[in-house]
Structure 1
Amino acid sequence: MSGGPPAIVADLDRLRQYRPRQSRSDNVVGPRGDHDLNPDLKPLATLRPAAVLVPIVRRPDGDAILLTLRTPHLNAHAGQIAFPGGGVDPGDPDPLAAALRETEEEIGLPRRKVEIVGRLDTYVSRTGFEIQPFVGLLTPPLETAPDPFEVAEIFEVPLGFILAPGNPKRHRITVQGVERQYWAFPYRDRYVWGVTAGILRNLRDVLLGTAE
């Protein structure tokens, strides 16, 4: 389609070689999070471990990022655009297993269809989650079956749009009289913001070789 984002293929070597920020105690820098743009917004003292899959779909006309639209009745991040994933349960051997389990439960994608190629920085949300994002490759045809309770829709955003100059956008909102800033990737009629946009910004930096 003319005028659309350029066809982009992810630089997998950069993903595989990237050493992510792990947790608050990992190094001086610490994890990414909603506090990056709002220094007064301190992370909660107790955080729930979580993990998400950042799926890159290998399309012939360029890679794309698979995202979900959460249903409006959920307790956390209802009606928002998100990666498949969720909390790490006691039965999960590690965060990666949790991300793959949640992905299979939410969108019906078998874990055998996911090729893990890297990990991004831990992201701390203002809602109290310490999220580990894992990047996985998906080769079409995809086998998906969204859980109607959690997922209203599955869709894709071209990787070329995520990497385009000028993305992401820095937006502002006033909450209870206090101005807050956040990253967003407005794409057509989609508004990707918050935690998802923050993780996508990290992915963008890694793929472009500009990650700190």
Structure 2
Amino acid sequence: MNAMAPFDVDFAREMIRTTAHPDSGGDHLKKASVFMLMRTPETDPTILAILKADNKGYPWANQVAFPGGHQDPVDPSSLSTAYRELEEETGILPDQVDLIGSLGHFQTIKSTEIEAFFGIWHGEEEEVVYDTSEIARIVMIPLGEVVKTHHEKAYSGRVPGWDELLYPVEDMAVWGATARIFHYFTELLLV
């Protein structure tokens, strides 16, 4: 684990509130929402992620992702989708999350547009309950490791291609849209 300075939640809230984030690509894309949740920002900031289960034919098998999923017609907003999916996938309830705001929209290579929400989670890894048919395990990612990789790979000030943008975590790698969200977040708040 790589220790880092305390995370300034008030600064994050202000930056997220006042920055123009990546905009929607249009109605022709499938809509999804995710939650990027941080735990213990004042001492050892970690980000909650999930490792998708190794299900044959599942397009996201063995991928590290943020809790979330596709918007249902009954969801009144993308934030509602994010909260619903968060509870379904991890058992984390809305009252356990201090919503900081939206980080914007990120497109996948499979014509899906993900709206990413950032929040502070007031809970412990042991409290997370998940469906093992969908999720292999919970992955707590030290923010310090993300920042270290960001600097070591010289990602600062540029947008690396899909084939280059990787954040190693334990014996896995964060890539794709999840890596794009990490990159954007790091550029926005920590560089």
TM-score bracket for the superposition, by shorter chain length: 0.7 to 0.9
Cα deviations by residue, 1:50-81 (Å, 9 ceiling, x for unpaired): 11001111255321111100001163311100
Note if 1:166 corresponds to 2:148. Answer: no
Bigger radius of gyration among the two = 1
Note if 1:181 corresponds to 2:163. Answer: yes
Change (3 A) 1:171 1:131: closer
Change (3 A) 1:23 1:72: same
1:29 matched residue in structure 2: none
2:108 matched residue in structure 1: 125
C-alpha displacement of 1:135 = 0.3
Distance 1:75 1:189 in 2: 21
Distance 2:6 2:147 in 1: 9
- Asked whether the 8 Å contact 1:54–1:134 carries over to 2, the reply is yes
1:22 matched residue in structure 2: 23
User: Residues 150-165 of structure 1 correspond to what in structure 2 (within 5 A)?
Assistant: 150-164=134-148, 165=151
Note if 1:140 corresponds to 2:140. Answer: no
Q: 1:76 aligns with which of 35, 56, 59?
A: 59
Distance 2:106 2:72 in 1: 18
- Match of 1:155, SS state, is strand
Distance 1:88 1:82 in 2: 16
User: Residues 91-106 of structure 1 correspond to what in structure 2 (within 5 A)?
Assistant: 91-106=74-89
Unaligned segments of structure 1, at least 5 residues: 26-44, 173-179
Cα deviations by residue, 1:9-62 (Å, 9 ceiling, x for unpaired): 14423233322122136xxxxxxxxxxxxxxxxxxx942111100111125532
- Asked whether the 8 Å contact 1:18–1:119 carries over to 2, the reply is no
**Counterpart residue identity of residue 160, structure 1:** G
Q: 2:7 aligns with which of 6, 9, 15?
A: 9
Change (3 A) 1:182 1:63: same
- Match of 1:120, SS state, is strand
1:58 matched residue in structure 2: 40
- Match of 1:21, SS state, is coil
Change (3 A) 1:16 1:52: same
Q: Which moved more, 1:106-115 or 1:88-97?
A: 106-115
> With structure 1 as the length reference, what TM-score do the two structures score?
0.76
- Asked whether the 8 Å contact 1:103–1:109 carries over to 2, the reply is yes
Tell me how many residue pairs correspond in the alignment.
Answer: 181
Cα deviations by residue, 1:89-126 (Å, 9 ceiling, x for unpaired): 00101001001100100111112111110211311111
Identity %: 30
Change (3 A) 1:81 1:24: same
1:89 matched residue in structure 2: 72
**Counterpart residue identity of residue 79, structure 2:** L
- The structure that is helix-richer by fraction is 2
